[in-house]
Structure 1
Amino acid sequence: MLSVLIDTLDDEEGLARTLACLVGGAVEGVVREVIVRDNGSGDGTLAVAEHAGCHVVTGGLAAAVGAARSDWLLVLEPGARLESGWTDEVAAYVAHSSMPARFSRASGSRAPFLSRLMARPAALAQGLLIPKRRAMASKAADAEALARGLAMKTLRAGIWPALGRQGR
């Protein structure tokens, strides 16, 4: 089982999209809990998180990681959507590995060529699957910094990056 961590700020629509794709993982017993680390949202983000039964953390990233009850964390941007079948791939991976991983980009999710040339890739655009102990050892201030610079395996399961982040 794994804990899902979503680092958010004023993105209630994106959070709702991401939570919707996690329902199957909860039903299959792969997702134990969802932790939403809110950075001071002024819109309905907190209401969406609370209505969905998420654990809301308003402290730093270390507090959010510390609140996780599972040995593995799945870190996603609000608005990111996992393709169907992701649960089998993730369950098999965490059973036999201790290395961080990310998802493959879903076919059709790439931004236009010039946009990809001009933009810096977001480290979290393809999600992050990381052992909790490794995340706890990090000094990262936010989820994006946690994913930056890690050597990772790429899973076959696909992800649609958050809208507006596909070319970054």
Structure 2
Amino acid sequence: MISVFIECKDQEKALAVTLAALVHGAVEGLVAEVVILDRGSSDGTALLADAAGCRFLEDPDLRDVVASARGDWLLLIEPGARPLLGWVDHMGQHMAVAQQAARLRPSREYRLPFFKRWRRRLSALEHGVLMPKRQAIANAKSGHSLESLGRGLAMKRLNCEIVPAAVLALS
């Protein structure tokens, strides 16, 4: 089972898009919990998280939160990103046979224009990061962000797609 971690600040609309995409995983029994790590939001993020049944934590210590995750695997994802059809099966298969971190493929249909992709710095979480909980605990440092937890890992690329949050920001 997976614990999904989403870090946000004043991103209520983007968070709603991501939570809607995760419903299928919860229905299929893959997603055990969704944890929202809030970094000082002043919009309706807390209300949305509560209505969706998420665990909502304001400025938590990353090491403690990762250690308390219910799932044996963690999915780190940006608010606004949404995995596309088939992600539940691909992640389930990967978790059954592999012990290494993985990321989804960027969607070919929904992507930024070439020059916008080329000129910007890629976020470590842009294509999601699926990692074993034990690896996350070993890499987690107090006070750090999910971005730092997902950066610098050797990862396999799963054969399922994700629409990056940056695509939502442009629309």
TM-score (norm 2): 0.92
User: What is the CA deviation profile of residues 16-55 of structure 1, one whole-angstrom value per residue up to 9, with x for unaligned ones?
Assistant: 1000011111111111111111111111011100110001
Kept after mapping to 2: 8 A contact 1:109/1:166: no
Matching residue of 2:156: 153
Amino acid at match of 1:114: F
- Classify the secondary structure of the residue corresponding to 1:163: helix
User: What is the CA deviation profile of residues 63-84 of structure 1, one whole-angstrom value per residue up to 9, with x for unaligned ones?
Assistant: 3212211110011101100101
After superposition, the Cα gap between the structure-2 partners of 1:61 and 1:165, relative to the gap in structure 1 and judged at 3 Å, is farther
Structure 1 residue runs of 5 or longer lacking an equivalent are none
Matches within 5 A, 1:63-102: 63-102=64-103
- Alpha-carbon distance in 1 for matches of 2:53, 2:42: 19
TM-score (norm 1): 0.93
Percentage of identical aligned residues: 46
Kept after mapping to 2: 8 A contact 1:125/1:166: no
- Alpha-carbon distance in 1 for matches of 2:150, 2:126: 9
**Cα root mean square deviation, aligned:** 1.7
Amino acid at match of 1:35: V
Structure 2 residue runs of 5 or longer lacking an equivalent are none
- Alpha-carbon distance in 2 for matches of 1:67, 1:12: 25
Matching residue of 2:121: 120
After superposition, the Cα gap between the structure-2 partners of 1:32 and 1:77, relative to the gap in structure 1 and judged at 3 Å, is same
Matching residue of 1:39: 39
Matching residue of 2:16: 16
Moved more, 113-122 or 73-82: 113-122
Kept after mapping to 2: 8 A contact 1:125/1:165: no
After superposition, the Cα gap between the structure-2 partners of 1:24 and 1:139, relative to the gap in structure 1 and judged at 3 Å, is closer
- Alpha-carbon distance in 2 for matches of 1:155, 1:102: 6
- Alpha-carbon distance in 2 for matches of 1:125, 1:16: 17
- Alpha-carbon distance in 1 for matches of 2:21, 2:73: 18
Kept after mapping to 1: 8 A contact 2:66/2:140: no
Matched, 1:6 2:12: no
Displacement, 1:62? 1.7
Amino acid at match of 1:149: G
Displacement, 1:106? 1.0
Moved more, 79-88 or 111-120: 111-120
Number of residue pairs matched by the alignment: 167
Matching residue of 1:51: 51
Displacement, 1:164? 5.3
After superposition, the Cα gap between the structure-2 partners of 1:165 and 1:15, relative to the gap in structure 1 and judged at 3 Å, is closer
Matching residue of 1:163: 166
- Alpha-carbon distance in 2 for matches of 1:61, 1:127: 17
Kept after mapping to 2: 8 A contact 1:110/1:166: no
- Classify the secondary structure of the residue corresponding to 2:160: strand
Moved more, 42-51 or 134-143: 134-143
